[in-house]
A and B are shown apart, each in its own frame.
Chain A
Amino acid sequence: MSAARQPIAAWASVSPALLWTLAFFAVPFAAMGVASLFPKGEAGLSLAHYTQFFTNPSYWRSLTNSLEVTLIVTAISVLLAYPFAWILAFGVPERWQRLALMLAVLPFWTSYVVRSYSWLLVLAEKGIINDSLLGIGLLSEPIQIANTRAATVIGFVHFFVMLLTLTIFANLKQLSPNYRKAAADLGAGPVRSFIHVILPLTLPGIMVGAFLTFVLAIGDYITPQILGGNNELLMPQLIMMQIGRRGDFAGASALSIILMLVVTLAYFLCARWLKIERA
């Protein structure tokens, strides 16, 4: 192929992806941006919805709630997923690993909504957890877990631990065993070898999983709505509230743009680790 035709071929090969992104992301995103500037019942352009978000503490709080919940979920999920992935990668015989991975994701073959309502029943005052703790005498009266932020976090962690386990597992499996052997030859114990060699090398896998967890959790409506008991509002719930009865799409669009900016900011903070190529 001549040098002159190479750019054409390159554009032709990426054009389906570009068109897809243009049609299903860029154009709707731009439309949402424009819609957010025309508040319901007002004539002409206005930044009223953005101003309201930053001046109304109830609105602003939905973002801080979302960030708090998402960061807690991401941190707990990483802490649980890493040892889980380690056991799968190095503790389970190779021939059983595929089965172990399948068993690990088996619960997710059920509906997301059904799973959330199931958690609600498990965490309820008369649910399995309270009944068990009361039965063995650890509690004298039931504690409230359902309809709290803790319930939202549990629901999220149950889902995202698996996501992180898979990304970290893939990263650990790519790691040559020679790194650990070399560290041991140079006198590093298992802990030192893990902290100074293995952990830095698996950081990209952790960060990819953590970023995905962050993005998916901060935009999720179902889990906080069902398990959180609406005792506090997260951003997706606030967005839905604008649409429900009033059909305020301008308000919902403005909030969605703000949420998108937060995700973009998170991306830039994680960007140095979010590389496609292998380390």
Chain B
Amino acid sequence: MRSFYLCRLLAGASVGILALCGAGAASAADELNALVWCDHSDPNLLKPFEDATGAKVNVKEFEGTGAGLAIIEQSQPGDWDVMVIDSIDVRRGVDRGLFAELPEDKLPFADLFPEVRMDGMTKFDGKRYGITEKFGYNTIGFNKAKVDPADMQSLSVLTNDKYKGRVAIYDYYLPVIGLAAMSIGKKTPDITEADLPAIKEVLLKMKANAKAVTDVVSSQTALATGEADVLVGGGEWVSAVIAKENPDLDFSVPAEGAILWSQSLAMFKDSKNPDLALKFIQYVLSPEGQARLATSACYWGMPANTKAALNDEQKTILRFAEQPEFLKRAQPYPAPSEDLDKKMQDVWTEMIQAQ
């Protein structure tokens, strides 16, 4: 068994070495190194670009901006060409001098939903460093065959004992703390340290009703297997991808609103293939690229481009027609200072540890 473990370690090390080799090899002019979330690894998204340009796209997946920035810190300048990043975290890359200015005139800004252009988060000193490519909501996901959909139209469901033991909470403190704040009438950009005790109270009530605090895959599994009927922090990103298997999975944007998540594409300042990097961003933002990204095998989400070439069925699943109404009620991700961020994470830790 010790040798079994050794094999696992060696296998891991080999994969790491191969990954490094891959990154090194990717400096060739016809290769693009992309630091991405799992939705960009879908061959259905990448292949048309590779076929059209003759370039090879090497993807490296990561979860969480901190982990992504750590990968960059351990890389050489020029190793990476493009990056997918939370729109609220584009600033973190800009502050580190990582990103190049994007040419607005070569990207379809006019076609984006106005609410997701996120200039405040992606544009600094008049220069644009990120472009929103996909968005959605951290809100209430649910199985409409198992719950009363009317109950899901209010954030009071977060603390409603009616669904005790049938609730899962998405394990990401920023959006769920945002939802908790909204449930007590606080707008997400206005959250301060003084609000944390009241927010903690809501979180503890939520935890008392919850069966589990789940990551992306476990959230999908929980809803798909019936382990949970309500997912706090869920949305189209969970229910849409498994909608065909279970059409009863749905999401609401309650009267109080929902948290708008959005992911951006950024180009590295030290990219060795800036032209190819820009072509990739243009492809992803094109109607075809947007449709493929929106319906990626890993998770679905709304395309930022209003002209995305989605078919009617896909639009229905994503509730495309309702977006203007949803966006009116949506509030941005909390974007706390470093200090408040740490305190929010500590409150989240307390919630998970509460029995």
Contacts and interface: CB of A to CB of B under 8 A. Distances in A.
A228 to B, nearest CB: 8
B339 A41 contact: yes
A146 B221 CA distance: 12
Contacts of B225: 121, 124-127
Interface of A: 40-41, 56-59, 61-62, 65, 105, 108, 112, 117, 120-121, 124-127, 144, 146-147, 162-163, 166-167, 212, 216, 225-226, 229-233, 238, 241, 243-249
B349 A245 contact: no
B218 A246 contact: no
A236 to B, nearest CB: 14
Given A117-B221, A120-B221, A229-B214, A247 B352 contact: no
Contact of B67 (A125, A231, A243): A243
Given A105-B4, A233-B349, A249-B70, A225 B215 contact: yes
Contact of B346 (A40, A56, A62, A249): A56
A41 B338 CA distance: 8
B8 A244 contact: no
Contacts of B173: 245
B211 A147 contact: yes
Given A226-B218, A229-B214, A229-B218, 14 more contacts: A58-B346, A58-B349, A59-B349, A61-B353, A108-B1, A121-B221, A125-B227, A147-B211, A167-B1, A229-B213, A230-B171, A230-B212, A232-B355, A247-B70
Given A229-B212, A232-B353, A233-B353, A212 B66 contact: no
B65 interface: yes
Contact of A241 (B63, B69, B214, B349): B349
For the complex of A and B, 4 pairs with smallest distance between CB atoms = A247-B66, A229-B212, A230-B213, A147-B212
Interface in B5-61: 5, 8
Given A40-B338, A244-B64, A245-B64, A232 B226 contact: no
Interface string B198-228: 0000000000001111110110010001110
Contact of B66 (A65, A124, A226, A248): A248
B67 A247 contact: yes
A240 B114 CA distance: 36
A233 B66 CA distance: 20
A155 to B, nearest CB: 14
Contacts of A243: 64, 66-67, 70
25 contacts: A58-B352, A61-B353, A62-B353, A105-B4, A108-B4, A112-B8, A121-B225, A144-B211, A146-B227, A147-B227, A163-B1, A166-B1, A229-B214, A230-B213, A230-B215, A232-B353, A232-B355, A233-B353, A244-B64, A245-B65, A245-B172, A245-B173, A245-B174, A246-B345, A248-B66
A248 B213 CA distance: 22
Contacts of B1: 105, 108, 162-163, 166-167
Contacts of B275: none
Given A229-B214, A230-B171, A58 B353 contact: yes
Contacts of A146: 212, 227
B106 interface: no
B208 to A, nearest CB: 11
Nearest to B65: A245
Given A41-B338, A120-B221, A230 B214 contact: yes
B212 A246 contact: no
Nearest to B347: A58
B248 interface: no
Given A126-B226, A146-B227, A246-B345, A231 B63 contact: no
Contact of A238 (B4, B339, B349): B349
A241 B345 contact: yes
B67 A244 contact: yes
B16 to A, nearest CB: 12
Contacts of A230: 171, 212-215, 352
A233 B350 CA distance: 10
B209 to A, nearest CB: 12
Nearest to B348: A241
A229 B211 contact: yes
Nearest to B355: A232
Interface string B214-244: 1101100100011100000000000000000
B342 interface: yes
A59 B342 CA distance: 13
A237 B139 CA distance: 25
B327 to A, nearest CB: 24
Interface string B70-94: 1000000000000000000000000
